[in-house]
Chain A
Amino acid sequence: MHSTSTRIPGPGEKAVSASVVVVVAGVLVGMFLQQARFSPAVQVAGALAAAAPASVGRQDLLSPWPAGSAPMGASEAFSAATLSDKIDGKAELYLSAGFVRLDCQRIRMGADPDSWIEMFVFDMGTPSNAFSVWSSQKRPDASDAGLADYSYRAENELCLVHGKFYVEMVGADARPSTLQGAEGLARAFVDRTAVTEHANMGSEQALFPKENQIPGSVALVSSDVFGSDRLKSVFLGRYKEGADEVTLFMARRNAPANALREAADLRTFLVQDCGGKEVAPKGFQSPGIADAGRTHAPSAGALTIVDMGGGFDAVFVSGPYLAGVHQAASQAVAERWADILRRRIEGGPR
């Protein structure tokens, strides 16, 4: 019996079929190209939102207000999608560190209309995220405010970490009365806001050598460490080295294998993306030191030195710790600080 399924298509049918396939493929390619192209215009759905007021917060940030303070208006609330409506290009700093929500409100201090404070309460999700944004913005001449988990004063500003919250009090001026008002607001916030976990970075901070450390310089950087989008959550500490500065870095990972993998990523970044030139270590006193001329794939205990053409970086792994030196003035300086840091880590807590 004749069957349609066994009939061989003629040349014309084949040509038509091929044409249809080509057209469909062309449509698919066109759709892909169109979708891949960044076109903000298609997102005009929220076109009017920028002109609209920010969302009103749930309630006053403090209730009742401490004596002498009163709100100038309702609180405002911002999500990750709207944070830049409040702080523009600075939003990236918070978003990359795990930002959840911002509540803020302006508060008048006393009867003087020019004396006011804007209070920003950032919910950063975790205490370490809050510490990260606090430490990475800490002003050089800041003084310890003795509040909450971590805090500092810097002229007209008071900043603190309370559990998962990073709080900024920005005064309209630096008068003592304004700063005292900010401190009162901060104490009230800490007293009235329960947190399940406090920020305590003491174990990591303790591993950094104290000698020549620039006070208050230990910071937790959440992302894009040294410009590498693969390097995240790394502690940095700055040190005086003669007339120069040098930066030590350290990050504890879940397992030594993860630290090794990230060390390899960092080496690749420094050499391939930044144009650095790997050189053989000269005097690092550690087992497993890489020999001159060897390909220096990171291994436990080995030191990778990269000449960045204006400074030297060093990378090593000790147990679960990825660590090293950034922007040392010479190879000798990089190796010496790497050795100091390695000894601290190997003698410190696990």
Chain B
Amino acid sequence: MNAENPEALTPRREFLRRGLQAAAAVAATGGLAAWLWNRHPPGDFSRQAVFDPRRDFSPRVGGPRMSIATGHDRSRMLDGALKALGGIGRFIAPGDRVMIKVNAAFATPAALAATTHPELAAALVRLCRAAGASSVLVTDNPINDPASCFELTGIGQAVRQAGGDLFLPSTGAFRRGSLPGGKLIRNWPVLNEPFTGITKLIGVTPVKNHQRAGASMTLKNWYGLLGGRRNQFHQDIDGIIVELAMLIRPTFVVLDGTQSMMTNGPTGGSLADLKDTHTLIVSTDPVAADAYGSTLLDKTFRDLPYLVRAAELGLGTADFESLHPIRVEAAPS
């Protein structure tokens, strides 16, 4: 047959030859890509199973949801605000294992109000202990070196003296998690270890201006539960704060506006950045707490896109007056 019509067969041979070459090229390229593809991004977290990092410690029983104390003494304001909501016993039961997420982001003195005030942290620990908590763990994953932050802010010593325990995060304390419905917290290291056995979660943080987010308050405080190169989340600071609101449902939050950092936040640096605003908020709704806190910074919640979005997603209410907050005046010390 070939001998009869060799020219007619040439295209077929050519087709087969080229086809085999093309197949070999595709196979080689695919093989190279498979070889180069890193199925496990670098880091110790990469080979762990991704978990759902959401934590819901919100109170199951009804009652008032927000109180606003005014005064000068943080401990007294905290005491008054909690009593207005039914007392610490409404939230903390005997035997509870409590975690307190403070803001210890910077190794700066308490006087600069860039971090949770040690007196307030200690007062919370004492109240939880008095309510019968079997353990009170205080933690944060600070921006700066954890040991320096807890010591120079005074939080470390204050917590220890009040009967609490400190948890300083190390690499092994984080686990890769993906927030269902989240776009940013995906395969991301989230603080995990200290949550083991925890039954109640409290967030406590000061009111601060934030150059990037507009304000740093109770929702932004959960940022300290993230590990890794989290600074890249500053590309979408509103998005990450909203996801943090989805991530954590605390038992309650304490927003300290005794002094508010009006400018140059979140680090501040000068006492001149602070304004005496004589207010402390306790709420089971962090969105409402932050909405009120925004007023201490001469803003409204509408100036903070993350609060607007969190409210739209039903993560809380920005209309804090709808919670009928109980206003109390703390007795002077």
Point out residues on A near B: beta carbons under 8 Å.
1-2, 4, 7, 38-51, 53-54, 73, 84-93, 106, 118, 137, 139-142, 154-157, 168, 170, 172-174
Contacts and interface: CB of A to CB of B under 8 A. Distances in A.
Nearest to B189: A47
Contacts of A172: 109, 111
Given A45-B43, A50-B227, A50-B228, A86 B272 contact: no
B272 A48 contact: no
Contacts of B14: 4
A16 B267 CA distance: 63
B308 interface: no
B50 to A, nearest CB: 10
A210 to B, nearest CB: 24
B21 to A, nearest CB: 15
Interface in B226-283: 227-237, 263-267, 269-273
Given A39-B186, A90-B265, A139-B263, 9 more contacts: A40-B229, A44-B41, A44-B229, A54-B145, A84-B231, A89-B210, A89-B216, A92-B212, A139-B272
Interface string B22-46: 0000000000000000000111111
B212 A89 contact: yes
B314 interface: no
A90 B42 contact: no
A54 to B, nearest CB: 7
Contacts of A93: 211
A54 B264 CA distance: 23
B70 interface: no
Contacts of B63: none
B169 A51 contact: yes
Given A40-B232, A84-B234, A45 B42 contact: yes
B206 to A, nearest CB: 14
A82 B213 CA distance: 19
B184 interface: yes
Contacts of A38: 183-184, 235-236
Chain B interface size range: 35 or more
10 contacts: A47-B41, A48-B44, A48-B171, A50-B229, A84-B143, A89-B237, A139-B272, A139-B273, A157-B270, A173-B109
A142 to B, nearest CB: 7
B236 to A, nearest CB: 7
A116 to B, nearest CB: 8
B188 interface: yes
Contacts of B143: 84-88
Q: List 9 tightest A-B contacts by C-beta distance, closest first.
A: A47-B43, A41-B187, A89-B212, A84-B231, A155-B271, A157-B270, A139-B272, A172-B109, A47-B228
B294 interface: no
Given A4-B10, A44-B45, A48-B44, A91 B231 contact: yes
Contacts of B317: none
A207 to B, nearest CB: 27
Contact of A170 (B171, B183, B216, B269): B269
Contacts of B184: 38, 40
Pick the most buried of B8, B105, B109, B273: most chain A CB atoms within 10 A of its CB: B109
B234 A89 contact: yes
Chain A interface mostly helix, strand, loop or mixed? mixed
Interface of B: 7-8, 10-11, 14, 41-46, 105-109, 111-112, 141, 143-145, 148, 152, 169-171, 174, 183-184, 186-189, 210-213, 216, 227-237, 263-267, 269-273
Nearest to B46: A44
Given A40-B232, A44-B41, A44-B43, A90 B267 contact: yes
Contacts of B41: 41-42, 44-45, 47
Contacts of B107: 106, 118
A47 B45 contact: yes
Contact of B272 (A2, A46, A89, A142): A142
Contacts of B271: 154-157, 174
Given A44-B41, A49-B229, A85-B231, A157 B269 contact: yes
B213 A89 contact: yes
B102 to A, nearest CB: 15
A92 B211 contact: yes
B270 A155 contact: yes
Given A7-B11, A44-B46, A47-B42, A90 B266 contact: yes
Contacts of B7: 1-2
B229 A46 contact: yes
A50 B233 CA distance: 13
A74 B189 CA distance: 29
Contacts of B263: 139
Nearest to A46: B229
Contacts of B235: 38
A89 B211 contact: yes
A13 to B, nearest CB: 9
